[in-house]
Amino acid sequence: MNQASSHLTFSSVLANLAQTDLLLTPYTAADVRRALQQSQPGLHDLMALLSPAATELLPELLHKASQLTRQHFGAARQLFAPLYMSNLCANECTYCGFSMSQAVKRRVLNSAELLQEAQAVKAMGHDQLLLVAGEHERKVGMAYFRQQIPLLRPLFSRLMLEVQPLATDEYRELKQLGIDTVLVYQETYQPTAYQQYHLKGKKTDLSWRLDTPDRLGQAGIDKIGLGILLGLADWRTDALRLATHLRYLQQQYWHCQFSLALPRLRPCSGGITPAIEISEQQLVQLYAAFRIFAPEVDLTLSTREPAQLRDLLLPLMITSLSAGSKTQPGGYQVAPQSLEQFSIDDDRSPAQMALQLQKLALQPVWTNWHPALGR
């Protein structure tokens, strides 16, 4: 695989990508079975696995996905929790409870409050933390991260970050501060739909967001998290674009690891109803297809989804999951009654989740990498 080109970015790749007719191809059961037999499935194989023809063969997809998960990950399942640092946001996104026009009480956790929240998460058993904030560069930007990340780094074996897209040099600095993983979800790869949902703020810049994983790769971030928000646009089209993005990044930034998340739109204050519904069966098919397409990649499932569905997917293809999540700043200890970014569905505690994993013959993994071994 080639080193990253300094001028090539995914936005240019996507702009030059001809509108494919893969979605219009009338896939058959034979196409699906052929895709299941491929040792290195391509985009055509993925679309066969996502097609309506694959619905009747879903047990075969789940069997293959389960085999690949055991082969690449064994019984290990990584547990983590999000910690919301702020609900300030300078964007207007119609599906988010933190949008700038929402009449909610805004707050940015200070150092003492962050430590209090972190200790509460730690007491639940977690050793991997995802730091989350609304996109507000002035009040929750690099100056804030420089102050807070060194305070939290000693407490956890892995620190992940999900905030506004930043510049390459800033990501290099974040890595030095102790960030191991950065998540940046595209929401939708379809330009018309993207502009429909993102009305104000820097998030309206589609190319800036599309090229964020390029900047992460150039900065040498260890792990890059990608994802789409299901319910905004046609899910098969977005899945194909996400897969194209993943393959591009794997070729350009071979030194990075990757994870994928496929969250469904959830209710929130002032939020919209899904433009396109995706059923639980379709979500299962989508996750299974991605496991077969990219067996080496972490697949993440959050507490957005109901407990019964999570319990179904965990043995088959999910390798990373949140537990005991709170989606508001201060939600664990400081301000538990504040407004959530979105509502969760699976409210089981981390201890209950670990017990359920063991019942499923899976191994809950709390620690990513022991600090004594170096980073």
pLDDT at 306 over 90: yes
C-alpha pair distances (Å), 222 with each of 73, 164, 351, 374: 18, 18, 28, 14
Q: 64: Cβ–Cβ under 8 A, 6 or more apart, which residues?
A: 36, 288, 292
pLDDT at 102 over 80: no
Average pLDDT across the chain, whole number: 90
Neighbours of 148 (CB within 10 A): 21
Residue 272: pLDDT band with limits 50, 70, 90: low
pLDDT at 161 over 60: yes
Domains of the chain and any CATH numbers: 10-367 (3.20.20.70)
Strands 198-200 and 92-93: antiparallel
The model scores a pTM over 0.75: yes
Q: Which ranges of 260-327 would DSSP assign to H, the alpha helix?
A: 280-293, 307-313
Q: Using CA atoms, how far apart are residues 327 and 82, in angstroms rounded to an integer?
A: 7
Q: Are 129 and 80 in contact (CB under 8 A)?
A: yes
- Tell me what pLDDT residue 113 has: 96
pLDDT at 116 over 90: yes
Task: Determine the residue type at 184.
Answer: V
Section 186-198 average pLDDT: 92
Give DSSP secondary structure letters for 2-65: PPPPSS--HHHHHHHS----GGGS---HHHHHHHHT-SS--HHHHHHHHSGGGGGGHHHHHHHH
Q: Tokens for 242, please give them.
A: 């996400």
Lowest mean pLDDT among 14-23, 76-85, 127-136: 14-23
pLDDT at 335 over 80: no
Residue 307: pLDDT band with limits 50, 70, 90: very high
pLDDT at 88 over 90: no
Lowest mean pLDDT among 42-56, 139-153, 274-288, 326-340: 326-340
Section 74-93 average pLDDT: 92
